[in-house]
Every structure is written in structure tokens, then in C-alpha cells.
Amino acid sequence: MPRAIWSGAISFGLVNVPVKLYSATSPKTVRFHQLSRETGSRIRQKRVDATTGDEVAFEDIVKGYEVTPDRYVIIEPEELDALDPKATKTIDIEEFVDLNEIDPIYYDHSYYLAPATGGAKAYRLLLEAMREAGKVAIGKIVIRSKQQLCALRPTGEAMALSTMLFGDEVLSADRLDELDAIEEAEATKRELTMAQQLIDSLSAEFDPEKFKDEYRERVLDLIERKAAGEEIAVAPEAEESEPAPDLMAALEASLAEVRSGSSDEPEPSKSPSKGTKRSSSSKSSGANGAKVSGTKRASRAKAKS
């Protein structure tokens, strides 16, 4: 059984829904230890004083904030404790918004909320009410002494919670000087048509099971082979400088490749594909609010820029 990492209640209006918080993701990163090449032993990190080179005991280490180069303000633990947000054990909902109004760039970590003892009815009431309204709840939660913005949304028969970045934590794309070149790089009508045809040819319903971390699989395979005593020979790759491709030629070649790759399969008629798009759109703005139309996000981002 998974272990709850937080327990409390969702608070909206005068209604409290007792819930437990569980992790919704499990990253599969391959982690390595640092070893000595000579002995094969683990490397031990030491905390040393930069001026004396002497090792410093953990209890003698304090926190300092650099205000100017090499000038620090020391902050004591009790001073920080006095500023910690009050652990109210509640997720205070402040407002409800449409899911497509939230740019995914604001999302941080994902969790599931499950009803705690005695909270099943209130949990289901909130879940169904949000699903019917097609809304996402925005509120604040304190996890491990840190207050975070969060979004609650129905996903299937469960409530998902995503912690979010605050507005001043997301950098504006306007700071990128390279974007100035877009104003003069206007595409022709034919190029735009070809690009849209390529997008249509590659359009599909999102299925996360289709995508695999191929690099991680290759790394694990390499580890297994070396652990079995196999000698691995790595051939150096020659660097090749490719000329900038002609945009129109690249579009035509891409379309031809996609069409030839799907020539063995029966090509769907126009009407079913339209029906599929309508179904996808309804999922993105429908009751559970679990999916967002990529077209809407793109158009909104374009409007913002």
C-alpha cells in the first residue's frame, strides 16, 4: 500500500473534505555513485572551510544569504522557524478557473488526493461538481513547511493535485533576443499549408504508453552487459556539419516520409478524423478537465506573445 505524504482537508466555503495526499509520479532516472577510479570505493563528500581547508562539523554550519560578493547575512534556524507558514492542514481553495487558462509551464509536481475516513461523500460531491462545471480549483497548501500554490482537478474517479510555481517564478519569453528575428521571418502561404498538412498527418490521440525512455533502457542494458563481464568498445562519432536545409524541400520530404510510412495501413476517411478531433476537443474541455487542447494552448500562448 502506498503511504500518504500529507493528510488534512480541502476547504471551500464552509465545507471541509478530509483527504490524504499521495505521490502520482515515480521518475525512473538511472542514478550513479561517484567512485575512485583507482580503488573503486565510494567518494565521501566533506564540508570544509574555504579559507582554512579544515573540515567543519555539521552542528557548526549556519545558513547565510549572499547580499554582495563574499558578504553574507547569517540567519539563525529559530528566525526562519518564526516565519514558517502555519501548517493549517487544509488546502484552502481560493477560486475556480477553466483548465485551458492555466499554462502547463506553471505546473511543478503531481499528486493524488484520496478521501480520508468519513470524507467519501464530501469528496465525491466536490469531484462531481467540479467535473460538471469543467473547473479547476486553485488554492494553497503547506507541505514540509513550504507554502505552495496548487491546482485541484478531477481525473477519472480521483482528484489530482498539482503544485504550481508562483507568477514571479516563471520567466517571460520576451527576454530572449533571438525571438526578434521571428518578425522578419514570415512564412509563405504554401509553406504554411504544407506545415499544416504535416501536422494533420502526425496527429493522434495521446497515449503515454507509446512513449518509452529509450536512453534509460540503453543505459540499463549497458550496465547489465558490463556486470556480466562483457567488454564494451565505444567507437568515436565523427562530427558532421550539415548545411541548412531548404524549408520547402524539408516539408515536402517530411510529408512524403509520413505518407509512405502509413501506406501499408488503410487511410481513414475524412469524416472519422473530424469526429476524432471533436472527441479530443470535448475531452479537453469536458467534465473531468483532465486534458487540454494543444491548439488552444498554442493559440493562447501566441496571443500572449
Q: What is the three-class DSSP state of 304?
A: helix
Note the pLDDT tens digit of each residue in 213-248: 888 998 999 999 889 988 888 877 766 666 656 777
Helical segments of 203-246, H only: 214-227
Q: What is the pTM of this model?
A: 0.66
Give the helix/strand (H/E) hosting 190.
helix 189-202
| Residue 271 pLDDT class (50, 70, 90 cuts) | very low
Query: What pLDDT does 248 receive?
Result: 79
Note the pLDDT tens digit of each residue in 38-90: 999 999 989 999 999 999 999 999 999 999 998 999 999 888 878 876 666 88
Distance from C-alpha of 217 to C-alpha of 214, rounded to nearest angstrom: 5
β-pairing verdict for 107-115 and 146-155: unpaired
Query: What pLDDT does 303 receive?
Result: 41
Query: What pLDDT does 86 receive?
Result: 66
Give the chain's mean pLDDT: 82
Q: What is the three-class DSSP state of 212?
A: coil
CATH of domain 6-26+84-169: 2.40.290.10
